[in-house]
Amino acid sequence: MAQILLLNGPNLNLLGEREPEIYGRTTLKEIEARVTAKAAGAGHRCDCFQSNHEGQLIDWLHEKRSANFLLLNAGGLTHTGIALRDAVAAIDTPFVEIHISNIYRREPFRARSYFSDLAVGLIVGLGPQGYEFAAEFAINHLARAGEVAG
């Protein structure tokens, strides 16, 4: 059994409640439940966390540093969060960067990410379903890593 992490940054607790035209109508609780169910279906555990505070996100990642895969939507910290980037780099856990909206079709400041160059890959602009695609990728990635290790 592998451990998958789902980490969401600032304001993503508001999913499904505000700005549905940009972020959809699915709540974060629903996303967490769907990703956890997908992980469980493949025999893996999923730990979920959201915070509006960069330090709390960093502390949680430090605690979970032995995890096998990370699904990360850093919210607005994507474009500003050097300390969170350093934490992600330090724990050495492979990760997929997720954005619900297409950050390349929005304000120019959203096109810069402090995480993309460290990520295995990105899922951008596919709505809340992007989290489920990322979970499927993580499961396949872990299976491939297991084959290599085994």
Positions annotated as catalytic residues are 23, 99
Which strand ranges, in their side-by-side order, compose the sheet holding 45-50? 45-50, 3-8, 69-73, 95-99, 121-124
Q: Interhelix angle for 54-63 vs 82-91, to 10°?
A: 0
The binder of ligand CA2 chosen from 4, 12, 48, 142 (CB under 6 A): 12
The binder of ligand CA2 chosen from 35, 61, 103, 142 (CB under 6 A): 103
- Distance of closest approach, residue 69 Cβ to ligand CA2, in angstroms: 19
Q: Is there a contact between 50 and 61 (Cβ–Cβ < 8 Å)? A: no
Within residues 59-78, the interface with ligand CA2 by CB under 6 A covers 73, 75-76, 78
Strand partners, 72: 7, 97
Interface residues toward ligand CA2, by CB under 6 A:
11-12, 14-15, 18-19, 23, 73, 75-76, 78, 99-101, 103, 110
